[in-house]
């Protein structure tokens, strides 16, 4: 099974709201990732967790706050977002940093 | 820095036509190479991979060979179907690295 699940599938939020995106995998992978994808562009890496510790933060604004509660779960907490943050947010996981990454279906976020 | 260059789309084909999407890369060392496919409204799916020179990845009728001498990883399929309409991303992963480097993506449209 190579499934990564993400909830919600769609999210509309105002600029003053606080919301969270959730990602889950049960493949025993020890690395998990958040990507942001704008229309007609490739995904851009935001964060990497390795063994539940944040190992890469690609200079993402602090209004995005990642959390890895355990080895199967990854959250992305959102607060005071801007309309330009509207995008598809993709979660991925891999056995480790030298291995292929498996992506979830994404959360389509719209900031109004 | 590392980079991946793909042919720009869209590529429009008739059903049962031969598909080639060119991908070349720039990277030091010996990266792993991947093709991902993204169907409309979905996340990325790993299509195939190759981890060393002369490896051939294959899946669902698609093939790509890791050519170190030409730094290329071209994707081919002998007979496309309408269901192959999607965006295809070539990507590389450096050894001891978490960060996938993506090409710009190539949109493929197969007409009946």
> In the predicted model, what is the mean pLDDT of residues A38-56?
94
Tell me what pLDDT residue A1 has: 59
pLDDT tier at A2, thresholds 50, 70, 90: low
What percentage of chain A carries pLDDT values higher than 90? 91
- Predicted local distance difference test score (pLDDT) of residue B8: 85
Between CA A7 and CA B13 the distance in angstroms is 35
Give the separation between CA B56 and CA A98, rounded to whole angstroms. 18
Q: Shortest CB distance from A100 goes to which of B34, B97, B105?
A: B34
CA distance B7 to chain A (A): 14
Structure tokens, A64: 């995005």
- What pLDDT digit, counting tens, does each position of B28-78 carry? 888 999 999 999 989 999 999 999 999 999 999 999 999 999 999 999 999
Q: Which pLDDT score is estimated for B29?
A: 85
How many Å apart are CA B76 and CA B26, to the nearest integer?
A: 21
CA–CA min distance A85, chain B (Å): 18
Find the residue in B nearest to A57 (Cα). B99
Overall size of chain A counted in residues: 112
Averaged pLDDT, A76-95: 96
What percent of chain B stands above pLDDT 90? 88
pLDDT at A98 over 90: no
């Amino acid at each position: 099974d190579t499934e990564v699940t993400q909830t919600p599938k769609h999210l509309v939020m105002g600029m003053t709201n606080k919301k969270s995106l959730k990602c889950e995998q049960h493949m025993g992978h020890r690395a998990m990732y958040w990507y942001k994808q704008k229309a007609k562009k490739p995904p851009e890496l935001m964060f990497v967790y390795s063994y539940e510790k944040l190992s890469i933060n690609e200079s993402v604004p602090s209004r995005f706050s990642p959390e890895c509660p355990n080895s199967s779960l990854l959250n992305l907490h959102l607060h005071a977002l801007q309309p330009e943050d509207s995008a598809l947010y993709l979660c991925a996981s891999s056995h480790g940093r030298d291995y292929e990454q498996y992506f979830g279906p994404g959360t389509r976020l719209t900031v109004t | 820095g590392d980079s991946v260059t793909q042919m720009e789309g869209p590529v429009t084909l008739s059903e049962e036509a031969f598909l080639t999407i060119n991908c070349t890369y720039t990277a030091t060392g010996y990266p792993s190479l991947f093709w991902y496919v993204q169907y409309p409204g979905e996340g990325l799916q790993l299509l195939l991979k190759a981890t060393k020179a002369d490896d051939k990845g294959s899946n669902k009728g698609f093939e790509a060979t890791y050519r170190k001498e030409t730094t290329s990883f071209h994707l081919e399929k002998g007979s496309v179907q309408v269901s192959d309409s999607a965006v295809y991303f070539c990507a590389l992963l450096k050894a001891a690295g978490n960060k996938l480097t993506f090409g710009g993506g190539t949109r493929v449209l197969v007409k009946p």
